[in-house]
Amino acid sequence: MSDHRHNAIAYAAIILERADGAVLFMERKDTGFADGLLALPGGLVDPGELLIEACARETREEIATDVATADLRTAYVSQVLGDTGAPVIGWYFHTAAWTGDPTNAEPDQCARLAWLDPTDLPPDVEPTDATAVTAWHTRAHPTPWS
């Protein structure tokens, strides 16, 4: 019998789409994960928090921008195994509605912000985020679980 006491790790990320179709990415630094790569704003879900609430909170914390949970739509879901073997579930939300001007609100963990064309992502985009943005943009059906 297997031991089911290992909890999955959940994170929420946002695909923030500008009027011209560009998507906001952050260059990670000094986090211990994907440092030097461009990633979507997002982070781990706190205890007692819904995924959609975590997405709004992380957006506010990382880029000083407010999104209403009512404006967030599920764009993609991923599942991978983390370094410890625990499942890591990523829930990606999309919106084109927000208030505030996105700025780097966590310069200790983010080197810069970049608006990228989702049809021409550079090779230094974090792979799971690149897959999520491509699937969202092309409206592809989810790929098999990895």
Within a domain: 84? yes
Give the CA-trace dihedral at 94, 105, 130, 114, to 10 degrees.
Answer: 100
Residue 91 CA to residue 93 CA, distance in Å, equals: 7
Q: Is residue 33 part of a domain?
A: yes
**72 falls within a domain:** yes
Within-domain flag for 2: no
Give the model's pLDDT for residue 8.
Answer: 87
80-100 pLDDT, tens digit each: 888 888 899 999 999 999 999
Q: What domain range is 53 assigned to?
A: 9-138
The domain tally of the chain equals 1
CB atoms within 10 A of CB 68: 11
pLDDT digits (tens, 9 = 90+) for 112-141: 999 999 999 999 999 999 999 999 999 865
pTM flag (> 0.85):
yes
* pLDDT value at 146 more than 50: no
pLDDT surpasses 50 at 104? yes
Kindly tell me if the per-residue pLDDT of 4 is higher than 60. no
Q: How far is 97 from 106, CA to CA, in rounded Å?
A: 22
pLDDT reading at 49 higher than 90: yes
Question: Any idea which of 12-16, 25-29, 31-35, 121-125 has the lowest mean pLDDT?
Answer: 31-35
Q: Which whole number is the average pLDDT over 47-62?
A: 96
Q: For tokens 């625990």, what's the residue? A: 86
In a domain, 40, yes or no: yes
54 lies in a domain?
A: yes
- What CATH number has the domain bearing residue 67? 3.90.79.10
More confident residue, 80 or 25: 25
Residue 26 lies in a domain: yes
Is 1 among the domain residues? no
pLDDT for 40 equals 98
